[in-house]
A and B are shown apart, each in its own frame.
Chain A
Amino acid sequence: MVDETLAVSLKQTTPIPLDVEFSCYAGDVLALVGPSGSGKSTILRTIAGLYRPAEGRVTVKGSPWLDTARKIDVPPHRRRAGLVFQNYALFPHMTALGNVAAALGHLPREARTARSGELLNLVHLTGLEGRRPAELSGGQQQRVAVARALARDPDVLLLDEPFSAVDRVTRQKLYTELRELSRAFPIPIMFVTHDFDEAARIANRMCLLDRGTILQTGTPRDVLARPASVKAARLVDLKNLFEARVVDTDSARTLLDWNGRRVEAMRTDARQCGTMIAWAIPGSQVLLSRTDLNEADTTPNRFAGTIRDLVQLSESLSVTVILEGADAPVLAMTLPAHYARRTGLGVGSTVTIALMPDGIHIMDRDADPEGGRENGP
């Protein structure tokens, strides 16, 4: 199915460093995620033909849109790319219908109005065809922008931070609509965001970018819970990142020495005994109880600690616990909102925490000196 693919390979050092190579298949929703300045938007603009990197290749359905080595650079109006701009960039002097019809130049004139109406209907804007962008809400403008991007019958749909300018409620609605669109239009869809939750909600694949390079590609679940490196873990803001030494391995488990504590992890690869590694555990894989550490319990990885902070969020409780020991590591976790009320937990309460062995993710230690620093919340 090579023909169905968007294949991108870009390289340059200045002014925006880029060194990326990835593909996106028909039906894929690929999220480009990373901090500001990581080159996400530049990648989308390059695919659309609005930016030309020093070296690069963009191939869609087997035909080259950009190939700097062969001096091919198809101008944007000849590339069938639908692009939704961050601030929508609607034509202010045209109505919603006019905006969509403007992108239907490939259809005969008499067919454009009908098709524009269909597309506006698809994005739930029937009845607002005659309004100008200034008379539409942010969410409605975004839908017009999506309808306009789809009007070209694009080979690839690109969305640049499409949800950043709308309120939370509208955003939730738009997430669902974008997922529906990806089913209705089986083309490669790429969107840029710096919000990991957003990526996890919409995308089936995700590229984690930092300073123009891809740190990791995979399902959002994998990238967020099992980052490939300490750097990736820090970028996805994975809490509970520590260092330990491998002390033993068997067919099922890896045993770690964490500053004198014994930690049992599911075995994922064969690391030599004595190797220093980095490990992390998502907050959702840390259990907390009020039972005494000395009470009989078969759960592995149980440690005593004290609650340092407790923040009530809308649907959950964010808790940080300082464990006993000279290194006093801090673990962060989320609990159901009612948990504190039910158990009477508060700041200063002594608790027992348990680390789920299959939640522990082991990585190579970061090579750079900063990477050795333990990362409490």
Chain B
Amino acid sequence: MDWTALWLSIKLGLFTLAILLPIGLLIGRWLAYGRFSGKGFVEAAFALPLVLPPTVVGYYLLVSVGGATPIGQFWRSSFGHNLVFSFEGLVFASVIVNLPFAIQPMQRAFEAIAPEIREAAAVSGLSPWQVLLRIDLPLAWQGIVTGMVLTFAHTLGEFGVVLMIGGSIPGETKTVAIAIYDRVQAFDTHSAGIMAAALLVMSLAALGLTYRLSSNVGRRHG
């Protein structure tokens, strides 16, 4: 069992979550309540990582933040190392790949709140911030938690993008999914099996929690 790889995966999941939670809330709420032209296109763009092969996403990330690109050069001059093949680069890629997993459940949860409820809150004197804290978040929390759980579980299992952006540097970018691949390549099926089982159990627990929460949404205020 490669504990370093497992810990790296968990760390990556937590960092991704921390960054995607506010982004998911912001964009999910914007897409749920916003009325603007081209909304379908924006939604499609955020959903792209769901359907594109991870290698395609990885390729575009590589050519947009690689060492020779303006972003890559800016990063290098600011932090002294490349963004790609580093833990930070992995977090960046993970955030992009997980956008739909965070945004979509949150957006659906916000959409499920009847517009009159939010209007009633405004007419009752609640400021837009109070509407967010006292109406939107309490009514949409299951969707928010679902988005977070899915993001975390998906980060643990991500392979293609991680390999392209991070390579397989132990302790830096070698996540548990890569470690399993490495072990299989080395015919160490015992280690691979233990790690695969650990991932399986964690993913199953995460998805189980998600399904339980989503079935509660309908029951609670029905």
- A contact set with B: CB distance below 8 Å: 48-50, 75-77, 79, 81-83, 85, 87, 89-93, 102-103, 105-106, 134, 148-149, 151-152
CB distance from B91 to the nearest CB of A (A): 34
Query: Which residues of A have CB within 8 Å of B128?
Result: 77
Are A85 and B124 neighbours in the complex by a CB distance under 8 Å?
no
Give which listed residue, A76, A90, A91, A134, contacts B123 with CB less than 8 A.
Answer: A76
The residue of chain B having its C-beta at the shortest distance from the C-beta of A100 within the complex is B124
User: Can you report 14 residue pairs joining A to B where beta carbons are below 8 Å apart?
Assistant: A49-B122, A50-B119, A77-B122, A77-B123, A77-B128, A81-B123, A85-B119, A87-B116, A89-B117, A92-B139, A93-B139, A93-B220, A103-B125, A148-B124
Interface SS majority for chain A: loop
A-B pairs, 7 with minimum CB distance = A103-B124, A89-B116, A89-B120, A92-B221, A76-B122, A83-B123, A105-B125
Are A85 and B116 neighbours in the complex by a CB distance under 8 Å?
yes
Query: Which residues of A have CB within 8 Å of B127?
Result: 77
Are B124 and A48 neighbours in the complex by a CB distance under 8 Å?
no
- Residue B213 CB within 8 A of the other chain: no
- Residue B114 CB within 8 A of the other chain: yes
Give which listed residue, B134, B220, B221, B222, contacts A102 with CB less than 8 A.
Answer: B134
Q: Number of contacts between A and B (CB, 8 Å)?
A: 65
Query: Which residues of B have CB within 8 Å of A82?
Result: 123
Interface SS majority for chain B: helix
Give which listed residue, B120, B125, B138, B222, contacts A85 with CB less than 8 A.
Answer: B120
Give which listed residue, A49, A134, A152, contacts B124 with CB less than 8 A.
Answer: A152
Are A102 and B122 neighbours in the complex by a CB distance under 8 Å?
no
Are A152 and B116 neighbours in the complex by a CB distance under 8 Å?
no
Complex CA–CA separation, A85 to B130 (angstroms) = 20
- B contact set with A: CB distance below 8 Å: 114, 116-117, 119-128, 130, 134-135, 138-139, 220-222
Q: Given A102-B126, A105-B125, answer yes or no on A91-B222 (Cβ-Cβ < 8 Å).
A: no
CB distance from B114 to the nearest CB of A (A): 7
Query: Which residues of A have CB within 8 Å of B120?
Result: 83, 85, 89-91, 148
Q: Given A83-B120, A102-B134, answer yes or no on A89-B114 (Cβ-Cβ < 8 Å).
A: yes
Complex CA–CA separation, A102 to B139 (angstroms) = 15
Query: Which residues of B have CB within 8 Å of A50?
Result: 119, 122-123
Complex CA–CA separation, A93 to B125 (angstroms) = 18
Complex CA–CA separation, A89 to B123 (angstroms) = 11
Query: Which residues of B have CB within 8 Å of A75?
Result: 122
The residue of chain A having its C-beta at the shortest distance from the C-beta of B134 within the complex is A102
Complex CA–CA separation, A90 to B127 (angstroms) = 17
Complex CA–CA separation, A77 to B135 (angstroms) = 14
CB distance from B116 to the nearest CB of A (A): 4
Are B125 and A152 neighbours in the complex by a CB distance under 8 Å?
yes
Complex CA–CA separation, A105 to B126 (angstroms) = 7
Complex CA–CA separation, A77 to B139 (angstroms) = 20
Give which listed residue, B117, B119, B130, B138, contacts A105 with CB less than 8 A.
Answer: B130
CB distance from A239 to the nearest CB of B (A): 37
The residue of chain B having its C-beta at the shortest distance from the C-beta of A48 within the complex is B123
Are B122 and A89 neighbours in the complex by a CB distance under 8 Å?
no
Give which listed residue, A76, A90, A152, contacts B119 with CB less than 8 A.
Answer: A76
Are B134 and A89 neighbours in the complex by a CB distance under 8 Å?
no
Complex CA–CA separation, A76 to B220 (angstroms) = 29
Are A106 and B125 neighbours in the complex by a CB distance under 8 Å?
yes
Are A93 and B123 neighbours in the complex by a CB distance under 8 Å?
no
Query: Which residues of B have CB within 8 Å of A48?
Result: 123
Query: Which residues of B have CB within 8 Å of A148?
Result: 120, 124
Interface centre among B125, B126, B139, B220 (most CB of A within 10 A): B125
Query: Which residues of A have CB within 8 Å of B123?
Result: 48-50, 76-77, 79, 81-83, 149
The residue of chain A having its C-beta at the shortest distance from the C-beta of B118 within the complex is A89
CB distance from A108 to the nearest CB of B (A): 14
Complex CA–CA separation, A132 to B22 (angstroms) = 30
Query: Which residues of A have CB within 8 Å of B125?
Result: 77, 103, 105-106, 152
Query: Which residues of A have CB within 8 Å of B221?
Result: 92-93, 134
Complex CA–CA separation, A134 to B218 (angstroms) = 13
Complex CA–CA separation, A77 to B121 (angstroms) = 8
Complex CA–CA separation, A92 to B124 (angstroms) = 15
The residue of chain A having its C-beta at the shortest distance from the C-beta of B128 within the complex is A77
Complex CA–CA separation, A91 to B126 (angstroms) = 12
Known: A93-B221, A105-B124. 11 other contacts (CB 8 A): A75-B122, A77-B126, A79-B123, A82-B123, A89-B116, A91-B120, A91-B135, A92-B139, A102-B134, A134-B221, A134-B222
CB distance from B160 to the nearest CB of A (A): 41
Complex CA–CA separation, A244 to B219 (angstroms) = 64
Query: Which residues of B have CB within 8 Å of A49?
Result: 122-123
Query: Which residues of A have CB within 8 Å of B121?
Result: 91, 102
Are A93 and B124 neighbours in the complex by a CB distance under 8 Å?
no
Query: Which residues of A have CB within 8 Å of B119?
Result: 50, 76, 85, 89
Complex CA–CA separation, A75 to B126 (angstroms) = 11
The residue of chain B having its C-beta at the shortest distance from the C-beta of A85 within the complex is B116
